[in-house]
Every structure is written in C-alpha cells, then in structure tokens.
Amino acid sequence: MTIKVGDKLPSVKLSEATAEGPKPVTTDEVFKGKRVALFAVPGAFTPTCSAKHLPGFRQLAGEIKARGVDVIACISVNDAFVMRAWAEDQAVGEDIVMLGDGSGDFTKAIGLEMDATGFGMGKRSQRYSMLVDDGVVTELNVEAPGEFKVSTADYLLAQL
C-alpha cells in the first residue's frame, strides 16, 4: 500500500551520510518533532537527479527553511558512502541531510518502490517529494514515470 497524506511514516533504519562516515539513524530520529521536506531520487549521480532535482533543493534551501521547514532531506536507494560522495560532488554542505536507504526498506515500507532492472539499476525509489510534520505526511508529490514536475523544490516551496 502506498503512503498517503495523513499517514505516519514507518519506523525504519536508514544511514545518514556524514563527513565522518555513515551514521545509522531511524526515521523516528529524522522526523520526530520536526517539519521535514523530504525528496527521493531514483539514484545518486543519475542525470535528472544530479542536474535538476538535488540542485533545486540546494538552491532553494534558504527559502524552504524560512517557511518553517527544520530539515531538508534527500533519500535514495543507495548506500551512505555513495550519498556522501554525491553530496560532495554537488556541494550540498549542511543544507541537505543525505539519507541512504541501501536495502530499500523505507522505500518498500511506504510503497514507492519501482523496478529499474531494465536500466540495470535494480529496485529503486520513485521520484517524489513530501512534507512531513512530526512523522506525519502532510503533502505528497509522486512523479509519473519519466516526469519531473511535482517533486521539484519549486513545487514543494509553493505548498509551504
């Protein structure tokens, strides 16, 4: 079942990409008591993700946070080492928390998994953005296959 507005996020272990290396975190630690703008990409270093999705959130981070968002987080079915390398490549700094969902447990739990085996990528996350208040989804923007419209930083900013 796919998560929807009003649902509470499941409690799942993730890995945060930090300068010191991967740090185990739970979704409870990331979302509890916070307003979080979360966006998911099919893969770090992939074309649309690197050219548009992550850069959009990096560029609008100040505006998004100025509208009451405590944390901006990016998640992908990649390990934390890849997410850290991507963050460094994209000069994310401290603006965006990079989360690795290496086994896809979170992605599966919220029903937003996609099969990208035809592209040699295995099981991945659909492209989406969501606003989460204290662990509860208040906005959810899932892209149609091949699209990049409703998960953008601009789109989520307009919802704040």
Domain extent for 135 = 13-159
Which segments of the chain does DSSP mark as H helices, in order? Answer: 27-31, 47-48, 54-59, 61-66, 80-89, 105-109, 153-159
Structure tokens at 132: 């989460």
CA 29 to chain centre: 15
Residue found by looking up tokens 């991967």 in the block: 22
For 93-139, what is each residue's pLDDT tens digit? 899 999 999 999 999 999 999 877 777 676 889 999 999 999 999 99
CB burial of residue 155 (10 Å; 0-12, 13-18, 19+): middle
We report the CATH number of the domain holding residue 115 as 3.40.30.10
The total number of structural domains that make up the chain: 1
Catalytic residue numbers read: 49
- List, for the chain, all residue ranges whose pLDDT scores fall below the cut of 70: 120, 122
| pTM of the predicted protein model | 0.94
pLDDT at 122: 63
- In this structure, is residue 67 part of a structural domain? yes
User: What rounded mean pLDDT belongs to the chain?
Assistant: 93
Please answer whether residues 76 and 100 qualify as being in contact, where contact means their C-beta atoms are separated by less than 8 angstroms. Answer: yes
In this structure, is residue 18 part of a structural domain? yes
Tell whether 34 is covered by a domain. Answer: yes
